[in-house]
């Protein structure tokens, strides 16, 4: 027997009990004739104590232990004179009578503490050691809890968890596929699913009207921050439903998770905002509504005063920053530098301070008098004491830059507290986006997304104007989930493929199985998928999804612990009918 209790379990009521504990040596301290050992497992830390005077041999043995040794100890629970409120077991200690070394350890390459001295690379290389640390344990435990809650909620609502295959052919989420060569079919490849999209639609056709799955998705994308080539979705689909049913059901799931995990009650419905409105008011399609500071279109108001920058601009937008008219010159210069960064790409920034004495001081006083500046204030809702920040240029680029500036101001003013949560639905996305260079339309969500009800007829004539029956769940400026009502008839699906530039053959070749399934009675259906890693990370207060994944890849898509991806030997290549051209 290795243990009667775990290292986070014993309390004052266990005093005088004989116990066995097993775990890792976190720390050894020798104080006078006493040796103290912190013994750790994933449940907590328990203090062991050995007195040199009464047990000289045991004390000698204890002093030779090293950090991260795995030991089994026998002892008696005693009340601590020097209690430690930080530890759940801090009122007791174990007076040790026997120590058995189960496994020795080399000196670990970094300290296994909440705040470690190990850099990112080192910790990734020794991920199994990093995972011993409390912050990571906390992330994985939260992940487990979230998974259980999701399963409980959806099962109670009659959803079935059904697995779908990983070795499939290309799916249409718009990223590159990871492919797996087939040994049995020479020269052929499986693709790993970018999502179970087509399978969940086929399950609807098979009559499994409420499906969900916590599943891995694989997307071979260039690395942007907080992306992983394999990640987990809570993937869901329902039949005989309309958009409202989906939004209600999954708003229910979100509220349940908020309540169970964060103890936050959302009594009211989540706000809904259209894509167009989100773009106009927040400059992006995943608005952070923890704070106001909306974008105001001031194009018409500010033009025509001989300020060339504005007169030449397609679009001019302004933020009103409440109560910040005292922003210093230095701070404003910093903001100007911020928006001029290449990733943001603004040419410059104009400001106007609406001083508490009622005057307005702007960086373009040469062109605008007080009356004119007062119009800026009216258009942006600015009052005495507020600061107005203005960017101009091409519309979509300027809105994107205003969005960044808004976030930067939100950060600076502490308006983006990660303990505050502001969920909302973004609806009515465009069905297509246009490739600027080729003019070709691409599905903004994916090719199975239905047009918004009543706009179907535009598919033949003005496809670029159609809105989609699609929706995203956004929390704190992060897209947590997205989905759509699907097309469920062959004719409409064919039109969609056509608009996307597929020839009949290409469509048949890639999605023939789905088109033919539609011929055998397809129910109206729709669904949604949530980024499980991201949602968990957000609830964990983490900036990175890596904090809630046991074995993530690094920024270059590599697992440096197991050294993957790796070369394979010639025999394997031959079996797979492959040769490598580097």
Query: Of 22, 89, 197, 296, which one interacts with ligand ASP (CB under 6 A)?
Result: 197
Using the minimum distance from each CB to ligand ASP, give the nearer residue, 96 or 468: 468
Using the minimum distance from each CB to ligand ASP, give the nearer residue, 287 or 482: 482
Span from 145-153, 322-330, 478-486, 569-577 in contact with ligand ASP (CB under 6 A): 478-486
Using the minimum distance from each CB to ligand ASP, give the nearer residue, 71 or 150: 150
The answer to whether 44 contacts ligand ASP (rule: CB under 6 A) is no
> 349: closest CA among 304, 295, 392, 301?
392
Q: Nearest distance from residue 390's CB to ligand ASP, in Å?
A: 36
Query: Of 46, 484, 493, 536, which one interacts with ligand ASP (CB under 6 A)?
Result: 484
Backbone angles phi, psi at 85, to 5 degrees: -70, -20
The answer to whether 528 contacts ligand ASP (rule: CB under 6 A) is yes
Query: Of 298, 480, 529, 538, which one interacts with ligand ASP (CB under 6 A)?
Result: 529
The answer to whether 472 contacts ligand ASP (rule: CB under 6 A) is no
> 472: closest CA among 384, 535, 408?
535
Kindly provide the residue ranges of all beta strands, DSSP E only, lying in 394-549, ordered along the sequence. Answer: 423-427, 432-434, 441-443, 470-475, 478-485, 525-531
213 token code pair:
């799955």
Q: Residue 526 and residue 470: Cα distance in Å, rounded?
A: 9
Burial-class residue 131 by CB neighbours within 10 Å (0-12, 13-18, 19+).
Answer: middle
Query: Of 46, 89, 195, 469, which one interacts with ligand ASP (CB under 6 A)?
Result: 195
Using the minimum distance from each CB to ligand ASP, give the nearer residue, 451 or 483: 483
What track of x and - describes contact with ligand ASP for positions 116 through 155 (by CB under 6 A)? ----------------------------------------
Using the minimum distance from each CB to ligand ASP, give the nearer residue, 318 or 470: 470
How many CA atoms lie within 13 Å of 309's alpha carbon, on the beta-carbon side?
14
How many CB atoms are closer than 10 A to CB 525? Answer: 24
3 state SS of 302: helix
Q: Residue 473 and residue 551: Cα distance in Å, rounded?
A: 27
Q: Nearest distance from residue 528's CB to ligand ASP, in Å?
A: 5
Span from 5-13, 52-60, 372-380, 482-490 in contact with ligand ASP (CB under 6 A): 482-490
**For the chain, percent helix, then strand, then coil, each to nearest 5?**
30, 25, 45
Span from 85-93, 398-406, 459-467, 481-489 in contact with ligand ASP (CB under 6 A): 481-489
Using the minimum distance from each CB to ligand ASP, give the nearer residue, 190 or 471: 471
Under a CB-based contact definition with an 8 Å cutoff, are residues 534 and 131 in contact? no
The answer to whether 482 contacts ligand ASP (rule: CB under 6 A) is yes
Using the minimum distance from each CB to ligand ASP, give the nearer residue, 105 or 478: 478
DSSP conformation letters of 106-155: PPPSS--SSS-S--HHHHHHTHHHHTTSHHHHHHHHHHHHHHHHHHHHHH
Burial-class residue 461 by CB neighbours within 10 Å (0-12, 13-18, 19+).
Answer: exposed
Q: How many residues line the site for ligand ASP (CB under 6 A)?
A: 9
The answer to whether 172 contacts ligand ASP (rule: CB under 6 A) is no
Q: Nearest distance from residue 257's CB to ligand ASP, in Å?
A: 18
Using the minimum distance from each CB to ligand ASP, give the nearer residue, 129 or 427: 427
484 token code pair:
């759509």
Span from 5-13, 70-78, 201-209, 523-531 in contact with ligand ASP (CB under 6 A): 523-531
**Binding stretches for ligand ASP (CB under 6 A):** 173, 195, 197, 482-484, 527-529
């Amino acid at each position: 027997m290795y243990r009667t209790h775990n290292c986070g379990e014993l309390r004052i009521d266990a005093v005088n009990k004989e116990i066995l504990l097993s775990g890792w040596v976190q720390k050894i301290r020798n104080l006078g004739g006493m040796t103290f050992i912190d013994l750790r497992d994933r449940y907590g830390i328990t203090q062991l104590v050995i007195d040199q005077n009464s047990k000289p041999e045991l004390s000698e043995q204890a002093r030779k232990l090293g950090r991260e040794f795995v030991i089994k100890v026998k002892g008696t629970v005693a009340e601590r004179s020097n209690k430690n409120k930080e530890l759940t077991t801090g009122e007791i200690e174990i007076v040790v009578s026997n120590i058995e070394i189960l496994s020795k350890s080399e000196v670990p390459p970094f300290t296994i503490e909440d705040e470690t001295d190990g850099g990112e690379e080192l910790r990734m290389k020794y991920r199994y050691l990093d995972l011993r640390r409390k912050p990571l344990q906390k992330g994985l435990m939260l992940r487990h809890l979230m998974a259980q809650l999701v399963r409980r909620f959806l099962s109670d609502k009659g959803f079935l968890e059904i697995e779908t295959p990983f070795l499939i052919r290309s799916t249409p989420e718009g990223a590159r596929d990871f492919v797996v060569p087939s040994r049995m079919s020479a020269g052929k490849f499986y693709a790993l699913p970018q999502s179970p999209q087509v399978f969940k639609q086929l399950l609807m056709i098979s009559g499994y009207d409420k499906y969900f799955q916590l599943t891995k998705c694989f997307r071979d994308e260039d690395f942007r921050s907080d992306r992983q080539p394999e990640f987990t979705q809570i993937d869901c689909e329902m039949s005989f439903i309309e958009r409202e049913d989906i939004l209600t059901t999954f708003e229910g799931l979100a509220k349940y998770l908020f309540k169970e995990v964060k103890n936050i009650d959302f009594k009211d419905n989540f706000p809904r905002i259209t894509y167009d409105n989100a773009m106009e008011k927040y400059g992006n399609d995943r608005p952070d509504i923890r704070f106001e500071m909306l974008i105001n279109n001031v194009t018409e108001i500010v033009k025509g005063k001989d300020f060339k920058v504005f007169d030449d601009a397609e679009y001019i937008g302004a933020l009103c920053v409440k109560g910040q008219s005292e922003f210093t010159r230095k701070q404003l210069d910093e903001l100007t530098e911020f928006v001029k960064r290449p990733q943001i790409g603004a040419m410059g920034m104009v400001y106007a301070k609406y001083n508490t004495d009622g005057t307005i001081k702007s960086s373009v006083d040469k062109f605008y008098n007080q009356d004119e500046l007062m119009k800026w204030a009216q258009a942006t809702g600015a009052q005495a004491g507020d600061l107005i920040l203005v960017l101009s240029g091409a519309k979509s680029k300027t809105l994107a830059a205003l969005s960044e500036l808004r976030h930067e101001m939100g950060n600076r003013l502490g308006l983006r507290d990660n303990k505050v949560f502001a969920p909302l639905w973004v609806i009515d996305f465009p069905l297509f986006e246009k490739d600027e260079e080729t003019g070709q339309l691409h599905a903004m969500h994916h090719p199975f997304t239905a047009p918004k009800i009543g706009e179907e007829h535009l598919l033949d004539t003005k496809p670029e104007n159609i809105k989609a029956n699609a929706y995203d769940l956004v929390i704190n400026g992060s897209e947590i989930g997205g989905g759509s009502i699907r097309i469920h008839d062959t004719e409409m699906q064919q039109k969609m493929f056509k608009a996307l530039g597929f020839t009949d053959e290409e469509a048949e070749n890639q999605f023939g199985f789905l088109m033919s399934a539609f011929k055998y009675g397809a129910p109206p259906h729709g669904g949604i998928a949530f980024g499980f890693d991201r949602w968990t990370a957000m609830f964990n207060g983490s900036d990175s999804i890596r904090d809630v994944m046991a074995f993530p890849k690094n920024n270059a898509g590599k697992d440096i612990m197991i050294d993957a991806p790796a070369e394979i030997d010639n025999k394997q290549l031959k079996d797979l009918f492959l040769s490598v051209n580097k």
